[in-house]
């Protein structure tokens, strides 16, 4: 009986420590908005022609890699950003589509 109690107590302690160490994370919607906002700032007149996608979540750093799809004039671009846990987008690269 004492073994079961100590096991349960140990599990409660592990869960409590894990919850206490949990860092806030930018949710997917906010990450998409932050990425689209940064992508639009790169061009004078730009519109989103396809909804952005969260491609990857980097586990150790809790950053998300997001692809935004922007059209500036006749040209379409994919803008890749890293979004930090506090929802700050950082530019990675830009590619042109259909070239």
Give the pLDDT confidence of 68-91 residue by residue, as tens digits.
999 998 999 999 999 999 999 999
The pLDDT value given to residue 11: 62
Rounded to an integer, what distance in angstroms lies between the CA atom of residue 16 and that of residue 11? Answer: 9
Q: Tell me the β-bridge partners of 78.
A: 69, 95
Residue 75 Cα distances to 43, 48, 71, angstroms:
11, 12, 6
The whole model's pTM is what?
Answer: 0.73
Average pLDDT for residues 24-36, to the nearest whole number?
Answer: 93
């Amino acid at each position: 009986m004492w073994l079961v109690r100590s096991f349960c107590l140990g599990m409660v302690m592990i869960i409590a420590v894990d919850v206490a160490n949990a860092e806030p994370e930018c949710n997917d919607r906010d990450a998409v908005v932050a990425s689209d906002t940064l992508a639009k700032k790169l061009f004078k007149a730009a519109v989103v022609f396809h909804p952005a996608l969260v491609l990857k979540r980097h586990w150790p750093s809790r950053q998300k890699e997001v692809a935004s799809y922007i059209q500036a004039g006749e040209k379409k671009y994919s803008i890749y950003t890293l979004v930090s846990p506090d929802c700050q987008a950082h530019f990675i690269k830009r590619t042109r589509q259909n070239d």
